[in-house]
Structure 1
Amino acid sequence: MAATRQRLSYTTDLPTAVATADLVIEAVPESPDVKTAVYKEMAGLLPDRTVVATNTSTLLPSDFASATGRPDRFCALHFATALWAMNFTEIMAHPGTSQETLTAVTEFAVEIGMIPIPVRKEHGGYIVNSWLVPLLNAAQTLVTNGIATPGDVDRTFLVNGARFGPMGMLDMIGMKTAHDVLAFWGDRTGDAQMTANAVYLKEHFLDNGLSGVQTGKGYYEYPGPAYERPDFLAVPGLDAVPSIVSRTLPD
């Protein structure tokens, strides 16, 4: 591990970062314009052999293939949040992706201890986000519209034995990414509630410098979020009944 760490380097200079890379994984903000600009800037800096993969959460690789300047050596390689605990990655091609590229990224996934999940055709949201985004959007709607507290939303999920609920997931994903996804798809589909949920995240978190786990506070405070405490799912005492009833009564 010590030797491995010594081989790692970090830089904010793009030409330096990609000059000798065999594989580049793009993980910039979930904005088509931002991603396209990065690909175009990077295209002339890469060695001919370099394979490029996008870690986009909901966008399609075909949207960016031409901007990379190497469509045959480009595909999607989407990692889950908290990949040290959820060790899978989704692999998705676009029509111009070569078999050699898919072989290279799949071997890379296996070599770093990931379970490679093949996505059989291009699909916005891959597999995991196709069900995760609707789940998180529905959970956020309950909070945005004042129907339930974040903690109570998560309690209804955690009783099934999950490690964290939808609001905890939002904290882990990060409010910036969650906002960008909801804002983009709310606008694309004309979903007014999804757009309202994006506005809620912006006004309650991003505008206050809060992004979830990354900043130490989102719906919960970190480390040691409330949902990890033994009493989070405890049956309340009878003395809690008046407080519960007061929150149940219509305004």
Structure 2
Amino acid sequence: MQHLTVLGTGVLGSQIIFQAAYSGKDVVAYDLNDEILAKLPERWEYLKPQYLRDLPDATPEKLDAAVARIRPSSDLADALSAADIVIEAVPERLDIKQSTWERVGQLAPEQTIFCTNSSTLLPSDIAPFTGRPERFLALHFANEVWLHNTGEVMGHPGTDPAVFEQVAEFAAEIGMVPIRIHKEQPGYVLNSLLVPFLNAGAKLVVRGVATPEDIDNTWKIATGAPAGPFEIFDVVGMMTPYNLGMSGDDPEMREFAEYIKREYIDKGWLGKGSGRGFYDYSGK
């Protein structure tokens, strides 16, 4: 599968786009309008030095070649016209994902394989909206995909086993370590472990127990871990915990969502990718 279309160019969508192009795939980057897409060159310039820092085989020439393999498009029919595989990375709301896949199913070529990068939702809740559920499954990436390179592959009961294996092979082709999930599980393996950890940190803040900095330091000093929950939130970006908190049933996580909107999102502090979140990454 050489031709990839990624739906959504946010924090993780843009990483998937760049990593696939870096691995030699031809990638169409789709988003809702050209104003959003116009910001992508800035995003590539943000990612390039991280590849040079973290990957021994990265060179400026290889990174420039990756950018040359990326084509932006705000026309969904155009973006899907040659797609062998589609990876969706739109906001983490079931209604948005369902409506997106309904449109994709009407426009994509017959042979196209459909993947969601949803962090928490089950493929079986989305599959019927695609019109071809046997070709639909999840391929889930961790943030900083070039470095934390797991590719969790999770089908639903109606996924064709041959399609499942094709996606696992594709994940390996773009530098991921395929993790085959044998049964539908909200949060896969990674987020089944990570989300309770992040939520615990969030609740300590909304309860007024400790500051984000002290919570992070406690975890890092006591366990030797490289990052605490709020450093991880900064990598993930503020919009994902905000959307999850506002759409969930936990009143404390809703309070946390309102807190990060008021104190961070409304100020344009969206996480590490924007230069500032709980911590300041601007170097100023």
**1:180 pairs with 2:239:** no
Equivalent residue of 2:73, what SS? Answer: coil
Equivalent residue of 2:186, what SS? Answer: coil
Measure the CA separation in 1 of the matches of 2:197 and 2:252: 14
Letter in 2 for 1:35: K
Equivalent residue of 1:10, what SS? Answer: strand
> 6, 12, 29: which one pairs with 2:91?
29
Segments of structure 1 that go 5 or more residues without pairing to the other structure are: 226-251
Measure the CA separation in 2 of the matches of 1:98 and 1:33: 24
Residue in 2 that maps onto 1:170: 233
Letter in 2 for 1:171: D
Identical residues among aligned pairs (%) = 46
- The alignment yields a C-alpha RMSD, in angstroms, of 1.6
Q: TM-score, normalised by structure 2?
A: 0.74
- CA drift of 1:163 comes to 2.3
> 157, 162, 172: which one pairs with 2:219?
157
**1:215 pairs with 2:274:** yes
Where do 1:206-245 residues align within 5 Å? 206-223=265-282
Letter in 1 for 2:218: T
Moved over 6 A (4+): none
Measure the CA separation in 1 of the matches of 2:142 and 2:282: 20
**1:116 pairs with 2:178:** yes
Segments of structure 2 that go 5 or more residues without pairing to the other structure are: 1-61
CA-to-partner distance for each residue in 1:127-150, whole Å, 9 max, x for gaps?
111121111111011112221111
Where do 1:51-200 residues align within 5 Å? 51-159=113-221, 160-185=223-248, 187=249, 191-200=250-259
Measure the CA separation in 1 of the matches of 2:200 and 2:66: 42
> 8, 33, 45: which one pairs with 2:70?
8
Residue in 2 that maps onto 1:245: none
Residue in 2 that maps onto 1:238: none
Letter in 1 for 2:258: V
Q: Which moved more, 1:109-118 or 1:72-81?
A: 109-118
Residue in 2 that maps onto 1:42: 104
**Which one scores higher on RCO, CA 8 angstroms, separation ≥ 6?**
2
Q: Which moved more, 1:112-121 or 1:70-79?
A: 112-121
**1:201 pairs with 2:201:** no
Measure the CA separation in 1 of the matches of 2:282 and 2:168: 34
* Preserved contact between residue 137 and residue 197 of structure 1 (Cα < 8 Å): no
Q: Kindly indicate which of the two structures has a greater share of residues assigned to strand.
A: 2
* Preserved contact between residue 211 and residue 217 of structure 1 (Cα < 8 Å): yes
Measure the CA separation in 1 of the matches of 2:268 and 2:282: 17
User: For the structure 1 residues 54 and 142, does the alpha-carbon distance in structure 2 shift closer, same or farther, using more than 3 Å as the test?
Assistant: same
CA-to-partner distance for each residue in 1:1-27, whole Å, 9 max, x for gaps?
244432221122211111100000000
Instruction: State how many pairs are aligned.
Output: 221
Measure the CA separation in 1 of the matches of 2:73 and 2:104: 15
Equivalent residue of 1:44, what SS? Answer: helix
